[in-house]
Copies of this chain bind each other. A is one copy, B any other.
């Protein structure tokens, strides 16, 4: 029997994947599981856009142009203009989700063995796309104590090496919800210019910025027109994850050319998804404003509750719909498994993403989790009730002053193989 490839056996997986069987078991046993582990919002897709798909009358579902439907690209350019982004329609290539945009950006700008610097914790699937493109992710650590503020320019500079070709950021960030300001981004821009490297920004959450944070795109940083590669998707913005429509935007003509060649290989992005995406751009801003308000309220519930839980470290995330928290436990992964396997509060429990999987540096994030606030405020409150009780009941809490051999930590299963 032929064996699979070495790489095929090592595709990096999502941080909560190991917990899925435990969640399934909990549900089979009748427990309600509040899913704060995933990025699938419960918000309705705009009815207007769904209706536009349902009202189509064409008779052949043809390939669209590889670079996307022309009228959609024109409307996208208008949408970006609202954020002051001066991209033309021909500087936009429509992709099959942001996933494909990330892969195409890596392929077009990096050769095998090249490096991309990514602030950690980061969206874990970047690891997988880097594996396909055969490029290395060089992490640079950010810390919960500062709300995962972007490390300073000197920190970035210290890890730039001869194979560094790009910096990749997510703004606002998944998994931390951190918002990066114009000033901070301009620092990265200088770096990109000075070192002649690319700056990739995954800006899929741009419409979800709170507390007066004004979104600023890397495409607007003066002087790095040839360096900036914007990665986008409609999945979260319009709660249309199944559309599989993203885009890559850059003023670098050579990059556009290379991305277009990769786009032509796979012939076309999804047809119906693009029709839906185009329709979202014909709508008033009411929808997006309401969704933003809703996420802000949810953010307030989650942050408000976390900040009142004893021993929990968190911060007020400025964007997206994620938050990180540090718990008073030795192993957040074990705690997350225990929540599903052994804990129950009023017939329910919570599923979270262990933080470790969002870091590339071994040993970081072991007592942290990511919470995605993709449930309504009422359910979020109930989930937070569960979490609050669980943190009190969890038997293997961090006991900094106790010897490891005598404390409860000694009794808990060894992390790693036991999961």
Chain B residue with the shortest CB-CB distance to A43:
B60
Q: Is A213 in the interface zone, CB < 8 Å from B?
A: no
Contacting pair B270 A242 (CB below 8 A): yes
Give how many copies assemble into the complex.
Answer: 2
Contacting pair B60 A4 (CB below 8 A): no
Stretch at the interface among A124-132, A146-154, A399-407: A124-132
Max chain B CB contacts within 10 Å: which of A2, A7, A240, A276?
A2
What bracket does the count of chain A residues touching chain B fall in? 35 or more
Q: A13-B261, A47-B59, A112-B134 are in contact. Are A7 and B242 (CB under 8 A)?
A: no
Max chain B CB contacts within 10 Å: which of A108, A258, A272?
A272
Max chain B CB contacts within 10 Å: which of A11, A50, A56, A242?
A242
Q: Is A6 in the interface zone, CB < 8 Å from B?
A: yes
Q: Is A226 in the interface zone, CB < 8 Å from B?
A: yes
Contacting pair A4 B258 (CB below 8 A): yes
Contacting pair B3 A254 (CB below 8 A): yes
Contacting pair B63 A45 (CB below 8 A): no
A244 partner, pick from B42, B55, B255, B270, beta carbons under 8 A: B270
Q: Is A278 in the interface zone, CB < 8 Å from B?
A: no
A267–B17 CA distance with the chains assembled, in angstroms:
13
The proximity string for A residues 51-92 relative to B, scoring 1 for CB distances below 8 Å and 0 otherwise, is: 001111011111110000000000000000000000000000
Contacting pair B40 A4 (CB below 8 A): no
Q: Is A177 in the interface zone, CB < 8 Å from B?
A: no
CB distance from A395 to the nearest CB of B (A): 33
Contacting pair B242 A271 (CB below 8 A): yes
A41–B61 CA distance with the chains assembled, in angstroms:
10
A263-307 contacts to B, CB under 8 A, are 264-273, 276
Contacting pair A242 B61 (CB below 8 A): yes
Q: A2-B196, A45-B61, A242-B63 are in contact. Are A265 and B107 (CB under 8 A)?
A: no
Q: Is A206 in the interface zone, CB < 8 Å from B?
A: no
- A128 to chain B: which residues have CB within 8 Å? 261-262, 265
